[in-house]
Every structure is written in C-alpha cells, then in structure tokens.
C-alpha cells in the first residue's frame, strides 16, 4: 500500500532545516562581525609587529654617520623611535583585542552550534541513534565543535600572522637589499619542497587517524558504561577487550606514522632552525660585503627580518593541522545537519482507541534490501501480542516501526485507526511507551529519571509508579532515597535499572507498550520482580512484546512467529504448539534447554 498524500510531509518544518543547512555561512553567521574584526586586528597586529625591526634598521642608518663625526638629525632619530614605540603598543594592543574578540566569538559559536546540534538531535528519528554508538554522537557535540574552537579562537589569527609577517618583511628586504631577500627566501623554498614529501599520502593517513580516533572514542565510552559489570564479575568483559584493542591499534598507528615521518620532519626542523638560518644569512651577508655588492649596514635588515621568516612558517605548519581538523569538523557537522528529520504531518490526527494494526507493511534499512515483507497483523485493544522468531527475523524492526524509530517503506502502521506518520511526535509518545533491553538512565536523581516522560508529575505519582514497578523499596534503601543520583550515590543492577524504566513507562501512562525482552539480562530474583512489574504495566494496555524466553509469553493473547521478515505462523501458545509447526519446534527446543518450572507470563 502506498503512502497516502499528506501523511509524513517531508517538507514540513522546511524553514527549520534550511536554517540548519550546514553551510559555512550558516555555521559562522552568529559571529560574522567578530570574524571580520579578528581578521582586521590580526593584519594590523602583524604589520605593526614588523615595524619595530624596520625602525631598528632605519635608526642604525641614521646613527651610523655619527661614528664618522657627521651630524645626526635628532628629529629623525626621535621620529623613528616614536614610530617604533607606537607600533609596539599597537602590535600588543591588536594581539590582545584579537585574542579577546576571538575567544568571545568562539564561546558564542560553540553555544550556537551546540544548541543547533541538540535541536537537530531532537528532530531525528530514534532509529538514527540505534545505528550509531554514543561515541559518534559525542564526537559531534565535543570533538567537532572544539575543532571549530581552534579555528576561531586561534588558527585565524595564527594563519594571518604567519602569512602577513613574512610578506611585509620580504617586501621591505627586496626594497633595501634584494640579494639578501633572495637568500632569506632559500629556507622557505627548501621547506616548501620538503613539506609535500613529508605529507605524501597524508590524506589517507589522516583518514585512518580519524577512524582510529572514532573507534577509540566509542570503545572508551562502551568501557566506561560497562566498568561496573567488569568489576562485579571480576573478569575482563567484551567492552574491556575492545577498549584495549582500540587503544593498542591507535598507539601502533600513531607510532608507525611518527616513525615514517621522523627523518623528514627533523630535516625541516633543521632547515628552519633560527641558528641555521642565522648562520646562512651571516655567510651570505659576509660574502656580499666581501665582493662589494653590499655595505655592512645593508646586512642588518636581512639578519633582523630574515631570521623571523621561518618561525611564522612553522607556526603555519602547525596551524594547517587545526585547519584540516576544522574542515573535517565542518564537513561532519554539515553532513549531520543535512540528515532529514522525522517528517511532520500536515494535518495531525488523534488516535481513536488503543488498537494497533500493521497493514501490508514492508521495510528495508537502505530502502532496497527488505527486512520486512508485507506484514499484516491486528493487535486488539488491551491484548498482548508476542513476536518470536530466530535472530534476524525482523522482530525488533517490526516493533520499532510503532514508535517511529523508522517509517515503513510501504503499508501502514496505525494506532487507533491513525497512521503513526499522521500523529504529531509529542502525541505519539503519549500514546506509545517502550521498554527495551538497553537500559538508559540519566545521571540525575532517581525521581527525575522516573518522571522523565512527565516532568511535572507529583512526588506521590512518582512513588506510586515506583511501587507498581517493584522498585520503591530498593530506592528507599539509598541514603537519599528518590533524590539519590544515578552513578553517584545510586548504583543499580541491570534488573533494578530495568524496573526504573518500567516505572517511567507506568508514569507516562501510555495506551500502547512495546517491550523488547525486558528480562533478557536479569537474574532470577530480578526477573520475577520485573515480570510482576510488567504485568502491572500491561494491564488494560495494548502490548507488543519481543520474547526470547518463551515461557514469558505463554499467556499472550496472540503470538506472531516471524521468519525472514514474514509472518510464518500466528495464534495462541496452545494453538501453535498443537499445530506442530515452527513454533512447536521452538517450544520443544526451549523446554529441552530450560528444564525448569515456568513462572506466570505477562498477561494482558
């Protein structure tokens, strides 16, 4: 079934997306005036920083005749000194103002970008987060924004300074003594020849470096999240192994790259070393004086200004790394802001009831290779529908279409007769609650974690939800009770954290609940408590549950058996076992592997 006209309108909110188009202009629009001021002040500071050196040369030219007894123009001497002092103060003042303006601009830019990132994250489909690690999101919010910090706060000033100072110096040198100006250019030319050799294959190396950094960041976040499990069981978990491997790979890559470039980098350091440049310019100056091509005083400009040419050049080399990082960050942020948000309905509808229907639903993650094929099913109001099947059969994907983690490519997913794409996001999440295996608690109080879906819920309502979720007594055992902060003075087991999320879902009072094997990682005691909490949660609600522990769905009103993205069987537990088909074989295997009494399942 094709999507009817007017249901998730991709153009809705277009103005918001245009504002976040990710262009350079939109990135830097909030600080456009400040950037112009930074550039102007940097140029002024760079030019004025050269003037005192030129003044020294001109002062020497003025005073030198005094050694021969000639008269010296005192007015000219004081004029030169005054110009030098003024230029010095202008240089310091411009550098100070440029630094101050650039850091204020950086703070404004970071605030603007982080707000835009948060707004865009709020508009993205939930499935986007499923496909990415928290490390990749952290890279956007921290690393990429900080890379632009380097650009605005430091690199613009450094690059302008590194280009302007040598340019002004060379213009003056060519004016007063062109032979020494050419000599002063030699270290720059040699460096310009050696640097591309140093950076040969750099684009690929930087790509590998970025990939290694992302892997290390993701592994670090995963390891920190899993450290309590590692400590609890006294062994190295998967996250720890991944962290060690990512760290080892990163260190080996950086070490190898450093070894490959060490010799050439050292050679460039030698060529641009002030001592080497000074010896070179003294040798050329002495030779020019010896052959009569220059007077001794003519060597002074080359020594003073030529010596200062390579230092800005090396600064430009380090700034190029910041420029590359800023360019990559801009591209990364631009790609992020270009991601299409969840389409908004033109004319939002309100569900009439709490029944759920899948009408010939097909879906593929890349739009081509289908994961679900023509799924048709009805979940009556107030019933429990269980999804079972082998790994990769499409259970989780089908369940996630209901809260719009993804949108169906074909067909319709409806709640109360309204396509979920026609329901406004805020209204949809008042209708649909979900509890998944992957528990996410915020680093805030348990009270605020529970009322995340209803920020204005009263303390009594929060406590009632916690009691129903079988977690109230455990919370009271913390010194600060409901005010205990997760990760600080409230350390919860997996099953306890799961019950907090159930309390959150209970407080939301959604009509439709999606459960993805909520007891998968719970110990037997926690599983029993979670099952009691789920029974409370499922009461009088329409429940869609993904189950691997088949004993938990014996009492389900309807079981859908998925195979290869299609519904292979449907019916109650008794009907499917009696039919002797795929589910019956799954049940027999399950009983053979789990020879124990069956606790009461989730009831509608």
Task: Indicate whether 114 pLDDT > 90.
Answer: no
pLDDT, position 211: 76
Quote the CA–CA distance of 487 and 443 in Å, as a whole number: 6
β-pairing, 384-389 vs 410-415, is: unpaired
Cβ–Cβ under 8 Å, residues 344 and 12? yes
In the predicted structure, residue 12 carries a pLDDT above the cut 70: no
At residue 71, the pLDDT reads 59
Q: Which residue has the higher pLDDT, 271 or 225?
A: 271
pLDDT level of residue 1 (50, 70, 90 thresholds): very low
537 or 90, which is more confident:
90
Distance CA 280, CA 303 (A): 10
Tell me the average pLDDT across 137-150: 76
Q: What stretches of 456-581 show up as alpha helix (H) in DSSP?
A: 459-468, 472-476, 494-508, 524-538, 573-579
Percent of the chain, pLDDT > 90? 18
**C-alpha distance from residue 417 to each of 353, 355, 379, 381, 414 (Å):** 8, 8, 12, 12, 6
Given this model, what pLDDT does residue 215 score? 75
What whole-number distance in Å separates Cα of residue 129 and Cα of residue 29? 29
d(CA 462, CA 446): 10
**What integer pLDDT is reported at residue 135 of this predicted model?**
59
pLDDT of the residue at 239: 54
User: Residue 180: its pLDDT value, please?
Assistant: 87
Domain ranges of the chain: 15-203+261-337, 356-593
Taking residues 288-301, report their average pLDDT: 84
pLDDT digits (tens, 9 = 90+) for 122-140: 888 877 776 665 656 766 7
Rounded to whole angstroms, the Cα distance separating 583 from 398 reads 18
Contact 255, 264 (CB under 8 A): no
CB-based contacts of 136, cutoff 8 Å, min separation 6: 214, 217, 218
**pLDDT, tens digit, 9 for 90 and up, residues 319-365:** 777 777 788 888 888 888 888 888 888 888 888 888 899 999 999 88
The per-residue pLDDT for range 499-533, each reduced to its tens digit, is 888 888 888 888 888 887 655 555 556 566 666 66
Question: By the 8 A CB rule, do 508 and 514 touch?
Answer: no
DSSP code per residue over 420-453? GGGS-HHHHHHHEEEE-SS----SSBHHHHHTTS
* Spatial distance between the Cα atoms of 294 and 277, rounded to a whole number of angstroms: 19
For the purposes of burial, counting CB atoms within 10 Å of the CB of 103, is it exposed (0-12), middle (13-18) or buried (19 or more)?
middle
Q: Does domain 15-203+261-337 match CATH 1.20.1560.10? A: yes
Strands (E), 277-390: 356-363, 372-379, 384-389
For all residues of the chain together, what is the average pLDDT?
80
Identify the three-state secondary structure at position 603: coil
Give, as one character, the DSSP assignment of residue 389: E
How many CB atoms within 10 Å of residue 592?
A: 8
pLDDT (tens digit per residue) in 77-113 = 888 889 989 999 999 999 899 989 998 998 888 888 8
Q: Is residue 369 a contact partner of residue 335, using CB atoms and an 8 Å limit?
A: no
Contact assessment for residue 217 and residue 139, using Cβ atoms and an 8 Å cutoff: yes
Non-local CB neighbours of 71 within 8 Å, separated by 6+ positions: 65
Summarize the confidence of residues 489-507 as an average pLDDT: 84
Asked whether the predicted pLDDT for residue 382 surpasses 80, the reply is yes
Tell me the backbone φ, ψ of residue 105, rounded to 5 degrees.
-65, -40
Fold of 356-593: Rossmann fold (3.40.50)
pLDDT at 597 (0 to 100): 44
What is the DSSP annotation of 174-198? HHH-HHHHHHHHHHHHHHHHHHHHH
pLDDT in tens, 151-178: 788 888 888 888 888 888 888 888 888 8
φ, ψ for residue 543, nearest 5 deg? -120, 130
């Amino acid at each position: 079934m094709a999507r009817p006209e007017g249901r998730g309108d991709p153009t809705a909110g277009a103005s918001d997306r245009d504002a976040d188009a990710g262009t350079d202009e939109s990135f830097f629009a909030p600080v456009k005036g400040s950037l112009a001021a930074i550039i102007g002040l940097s140029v002024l500071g760079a030019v004025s920083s050269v003037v005192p050196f030129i003044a020294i040369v001109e002062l020497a030219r003025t005073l030198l005749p005094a050694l021969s007894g000639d008269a010296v123009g005192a007015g000219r001497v004081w004029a030169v000194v005054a110009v030098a002092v003024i230029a010095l103060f202008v240089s310091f003042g411009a550098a100070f103002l440029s630094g101050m303006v650039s850091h204020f601009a950086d703070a404004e830019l970071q605030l603007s970008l982080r707000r835009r990132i948060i707004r865009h994250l709020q508009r993205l489909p939930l499935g986007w987060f499923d496909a990415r690690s928290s490390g990749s999101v952290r890279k956007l919010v921290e690393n990429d924004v900080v890379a632009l910090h380097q650009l605005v706060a430091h690199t613009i000033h450094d690059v302008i300074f590194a280009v302007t100072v040598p340019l002004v110096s060379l213009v003056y040198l060519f004016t007063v003594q062109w032979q020494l100006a050419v000599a002063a250019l030699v270290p720059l030319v040699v460096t310009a020849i050696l640097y591309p050799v140093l950076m040969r294959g750099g684009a690929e190396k930087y790509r590998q470096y970025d990939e290694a950094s992302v892997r290390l960041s993701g592994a670090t976040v995963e390891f920190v999240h899993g450290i309590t499990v590692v400590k609890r069981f006294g062994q190295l978990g998967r996250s720890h192994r991944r962290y060690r491997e990512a760290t080892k790979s990163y260190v080996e890559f950086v070490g190898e790259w450093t070894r490959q470039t060490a010799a050439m980098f050292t050679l460039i350091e030698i060529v641009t070393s002030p001592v080497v440049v000074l010896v070179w310019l003294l040798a050329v100056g002495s030779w020019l004086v010896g052959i009569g091509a220059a007077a001794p005083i003519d060597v002074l400009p080359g020594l003073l200004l030529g010596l200062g040419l390579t230092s800005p050049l090396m600064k430009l080399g380090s700034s190029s790394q910041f420029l590359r990082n800023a360019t990559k960050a801009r591209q990364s942020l631009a790609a992020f802001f270009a991601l299409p948000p969840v389409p908004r309905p033109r004319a939002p509808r309100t569900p009439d009831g709490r029944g759920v229907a899948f009408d010939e639903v097909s879906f593929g993650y890349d739009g081509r290779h289908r994961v679900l094929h023509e799924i048709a099913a009805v979940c009556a109001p107030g019933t429990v529908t269980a999804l079972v099947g082998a790994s990769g059969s499409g259970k989780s994907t089908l369940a996630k279409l209901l809260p719009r983690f993804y949108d169906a490519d074909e067909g319709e997913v409806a709640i109360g007769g309204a396509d979920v794409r026609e329901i406004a996001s805020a209204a949809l999440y008042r209708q649909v609650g979900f509890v998944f295996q992957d528990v996410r608690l915020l680093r805030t109080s348990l009270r605020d974690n529970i009322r995340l879906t209803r920020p204005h819920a009263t303390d009594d309502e929060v406590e009632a939800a916690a009691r129903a979720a079988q977690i109230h007594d455990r919370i009271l055992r913390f010194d600060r009770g409901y005010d205990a902060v997760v990760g600080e003075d409230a350390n919860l087991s997996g099953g306890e954290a799961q019950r907090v999320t159930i309390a959150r879902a209970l407080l939301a009072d959604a009509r439709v609940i999606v459960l993805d094997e909520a007891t998968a990682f719970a110990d037997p005691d926690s599983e029993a408590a979670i099952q009691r909490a789920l029974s409370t949660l499922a009461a009088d609600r329409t429940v869609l549950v993904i189950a691997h522990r088949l004993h938990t769905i014996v009492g389900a009103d309807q079981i859908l058996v998925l195979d290869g993205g299609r519904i292979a069987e449907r019916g109650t537990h008794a009907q499917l076992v009696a039919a002797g088909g795929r589910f019956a074989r799954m049940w027999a295997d399950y009983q053979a592997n789990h020879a124990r009494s069956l606790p009461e399942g989730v009831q509608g």
